[in-house]
Amino acid sequence: MSETDETKKWQTQSVKHKVATVLILDGVPFSYNEESGIMFTAPEFYVEKLKDRLMYAYGCSQKPIINEIK
C-alpha cells in the first residue's frame, strides 16, 4: 500500500449536507455529532477529489475545509 492509499480519519463542519450526500452516494460510512461535525475515514486522494467534486458538481462556492484528525 502506498502512502497516498493510506486510510486516514477526517473531520469537517463545511457544507455538511452536501458532504454527507456525496459520502452516502459513494458508500463511505461516516458519523456526525454537533460538536465535531462529520467524521469519516478515507485515503487522502479521495478527500482531495471530494473537495473538487463538491465545488464543481455540487455548487460549493469555496473549497470545503476537511481536516485530518491526528
Q: Does domain 3-68 have CATH number 1.10.443?
A: no
pLDDT, tens digit (0-9, with 9 covering 90-100), for 51-68: 999 999 988 889 999 999
- Sequence-distant (6+) residues with CB within 8 A of 29 are 23, 40, 41
d(Cα 11, Cα 7) in Å, to the nearest integer? 13
pLDDT, tens digit (0-9, with 9 covering 90-100), for 19-39: 999 999 999 999 999 999 999
pLDDT at residue 42 in the model: 98
- Sequence-distant (6+) residues with CB within 8 A of 13 are 37, 38, 65
Q: For residue 2, name the pLDDT band (cuts at 50, 70, 90).
A: low
For 43, the enclosing helix (H) or strand (E) is strand 37-43
pLDDT at residue 46 in the model: 97
Report whether 10 contacts 41 (CB < 8 A): yes
pTM listed for this prediction: 0.88
